[in-house]
Structure 1
C-alpha cells in the first residue's frame, strides 16, 4: 500500500498547538489505497510531544540530541517510510483534504516532483492573513520559483513549509538544508530548478504566527546571517542546475 509520511520536528511544543496539528492530521482524507504515518522527531530527549498526544497507531515518536530544526527534520525523514514526504511544523495546521490534493497530483503526473499550497497566516487572535504573492494554481515550470526568489530579494512565490515532495528527490538533495533557519527554502529552491512543481490555489496550511516561533526571533533576520544563508541556498541551486539533468520522470 503506498504511504505518505508527514514529518515534524518538535522542540518544547505548546500543548494546544501540537494538539491542533494532530487533529488536522487525523482529519485528513486519503485517496483509496493510500496510507498515512506521522513521524515526530524531538530536538532533544524530554519526550514532551509524546506526553501531549494521545496514543495513535499512525503516530511515531523519537528523541535525540539537540541539533536544530533542519537536522531534526532530516532525522524524521530518515525514520519515515513514505514514497511521498509532507512537511508539517508542530505549531501549524493542515487544512482539510490537502493530502488528498497532494497525492492526487503526484500520483497522476510523474513529471511533477513536488507540490506546494496556498497559506494563511494564523494570528494569535484567531484571525488569518493571506500570503501576498501566490502564483496561479497548477504546474510550475523548472526555474520559476528560483527566478522569482532571486528577482524579489529572496522572497519566494510559494511557501516552502507546505512542500510535499517525492522521497527520492528529497533524499538526493540531502533533505532540508543544514543551515540555522530557512532550511525549507534550502530544499525547495534547489528542487525547483531541476523539476516541475505544482501550486494548489486552495488553502493547504494555517501558518501559526506567535512570539515563540523560530521565525519570530530577531536572530532569524540578522543581516549578516540572512545574507550568508541566502547566498548558500542560491549557490546550491546553481550547482544543482549545472550538475544535474532536469527530473523528467
Structure 2
C-alpha cells in the first residue's frame, strides 16, 4: 500500500500523521510525501521513518495545490493500491488492513472509503463523520461528496486511467476524481471509523468556488449517472441542488 500525503510548509501535525501510518497493523506500506514548498521541518518529520519506507517529492512550484501534490504522489506510488491521507489527519491502527482486505475480496471494487471520527488539535474525539454505504454511495455522490479524502483507497491503475486529479477543479478536485473513478468501477464506504479527521482553525476547508469547475464536475456526474442508470434530468436536478448548497455556504 502506498500512502500519499500532500503537505504544505510547516505542517504542525505531520509527525503525528506519519506515526499513525507507522503503527498500522498492516505493515506492507510506503509513504509518498509531497511537499508543496521546501520545508526542513517537514523533511525532519519524514526522517522519523525508515529510508526505504518513505519517498519525499517537491511540487514544481510552492503553493501548487493539493491536486498537483496528489498527482505526483499517485504517479510515484510503487504499490497497486494507493491510500490518501492529509498531513493533519490520522490513520487508526486497522485502517489499511481493513481496506486492503475488502479490495482483495472484491476485485470489482475500484475504491473504498470509510467513516471517520472528528478530532481536535489535541487528538481528542469531538464528533463523528458517517455517510452512505453500499449501493447508496454512487447515488449520493450525484448529490454531494460523501467520501472523505483521507479515508479513500483507490486502485492506482484505475485512478490513472480516470485522469488523476484535475487542478482546474479548485477545492473540488477530489470529488471530481471520485466521480470519474466510480464511472468506471464500483465504490464503497466501510461503516467503520478508520481515520481521525482533524478539525482546527488553520484547516483548509471552505465552500467550493463557483465557476468553470462546476461544469467539469457536472460532466463527471453525468458519466457516473450513465453507469448506474440515472437519467440526465435526474443528474441536472441533483446538480442544481448541490449548486444551491454551495451558494448558500459560500464565503464572499
TM-score normalised according to structure 2 size:
0.79
1:106 CA displacement:
0.8
Question: Equivalent residue for 1:221?
Answer: 207
SS state of the match for residue 35, structure 1?
A: coil
Question: Equivalent residue for 1:39?
Answer: 32
Q: Conserved in 2, the CA contact under 8 Å of 1:189 and 1:237?
A: yes
Question: Equivalent residue for 2:181?
Answer: 191
**In the alignment, does 2:201 pair up with 1:211?**
yes
**In the alignment, does 2:157 pair up with 1:164?**
no
Question: Equivalent residue for 2:236?
Answer: none
- Structure 1 vs Structure 2 CA RMSD: 2.4
Unaligned 5+ segments in structure 2 are 230-252
Which of structure 1's runs of 4+ aligned residues deviate more than 3 A?
226-231, 239-242
Q: Conserved in 2, the CA contact under 8 Å of 1:13 and 1:90?
A: no
When residues 72 and 47 of structure 1 are mapped into structure 2, their CA distance, relative to the original with a 3 A threshold, is farther
Partners of 1:135 and 1:150 in 2: how far apart?
A: 12
**In the alignment, does 2:127 pair up with 1:129?**
yes
Partners of 1:129 and 1:115 in 2: how far apart?
A: 22
Q: Conserved in 1, the CA contact under 8 Å of 2:38 and 2:58?
A: yes
CA deviations 1:38-72 (Å, max 9, x no partner) are 00011123344112332423112122323111111
Q: Of 216, 220, 225, which aligns to 1:232?
A: 216
Question: Equivalent residue for 2:140?
Answer: 148
Partners of 1:105 and 1:55 in 2: how far apart?
A: 27
Question: Equivalent residue for 1:51?
Answer: 44
Question: Equivalent residue for 1:180?
Answer: 170
Q: Which moved more, 1:34-43 or 1:96-105?
A: 34-43
Question: Equivalent residue for 1:77?
Answer: 74
When residues 121 and 177 of structure 1 are mapped into structure 2, their CA distance, relative to the original with a 3 A threshold, is farther
Q: Which moved more, 1:183-192 or 1:88-97?
A: 183-192
Question: Equivalent residue for 2:109?
Answer: 112
Unaligned 5+ segments in structure 1 are none
